[in-house]
Amino acid sequence: MSIQPPPVLALDIGNTRSKLGFVDVRQYTCIASTAFPTGEIAARLLPAVAELAASPPGAMSKTVALSSVVKEAGATAVKLLTTAGFSIRQLDPTGPLPLTIAYDSPRTLGADRVANALYGITLFPGRALIIISTGTAITIDYIAERIFHGGAILPGIGLQFGSLHHATDALPAIEGIERAAIPTLPGNSTEKCILGGVLHGTATAISGIVARYCKLAAPREPLILATGGDWSLISQIIDFKSIALPDLTLMGAACLLKY
């Protein structure tokens, strides 16, 4: 009887939110996860670890796979987890990786983007990949033949709404966008004009960039993976098929341990 490896604890520290989860390293699926604001990581991280450890499957590896795009929060997490007896495998875009980073300045490349690419090449070897992440910023990356070719960065939905409100005198703040219905165009109120402009404009921009990447991949058909809190909104108005993976970055960070 083969001994099944315990799930790995993975931590994805984003600009706004951090996510912690158990990843099954046999199939690279996320078993359970929890999230909290990145600004509260000092107070929330270890209680979140204890919360996950108290729930099934309970047992976990003492190695944590870490992806962080916030330097100070990442350092805080390493200190807390090391003190608690964990060893840390932190994803470093400049370190040895199972893919080539074709980027002018790898040290400026977000670890989350590399984690997403690692998941793609691990679970879908040989496929050309387009990976979309819709967080504080939106990234659309292209990976082919185990080469991270780079991508595009756009302001996220929240940043766009915030900039319109704070940089003008009369435009209102848009709240509760995760529950918002996608308005048709043209909008017949200022709120609907903002919602429609930002959401439809972002979806159109993403679709245009994806179409350019598809031309690069031709005659192959790239696989499109998508993640991030705003994808549920944007996915309603895009014009291409994708696989939605809410825990993509967590699973990708755990893929680092395979190599």
Question: Structure tokens of 157?
Answer: 């939905």
Nearest to 74 by CA among 139, 18, 23, 22: 18
Active site residue 12: no
Query: What percent of the chain has pLDDT above 70?
Result: 95
When pLDDT is averaged across residues 232-259 and rounded to a whole number, the result is 92
CATH class of domain segment(s) 92-259: alpha beta
CATH number of the structural domain 1-90: 3.30.420.40
pTM of the model: 0.91
Say how far apart CA 38 and CA 18 lie, in whole Å: 5
Question: Structure tokens of 131?
Answer: 């990976």
Residue 14 — pLDDT band, cuts 50, 70, 90? very high
Q: pLDDT tens digit string along 186-217?
A: 989 888 899 999 999 999 999 999 999 999 99
Domain boundaries, the chain: 1-90, 92-259
* CA angle (149 as vertex; 148, 154 as ends), nearest 5: 100
Q: pLDDT tens digit string along 83-133?
A: 999 999 999 999 889 999 999 999 999 999 999 999 999 999 999 999 999
Tell me which of 112, 141, 230, 247 is the catalytic residue.
112
The 129-134 sheet, strands edge to edge: 100-101, 147-155, 137-144, 129-134, 223-227, 243-244
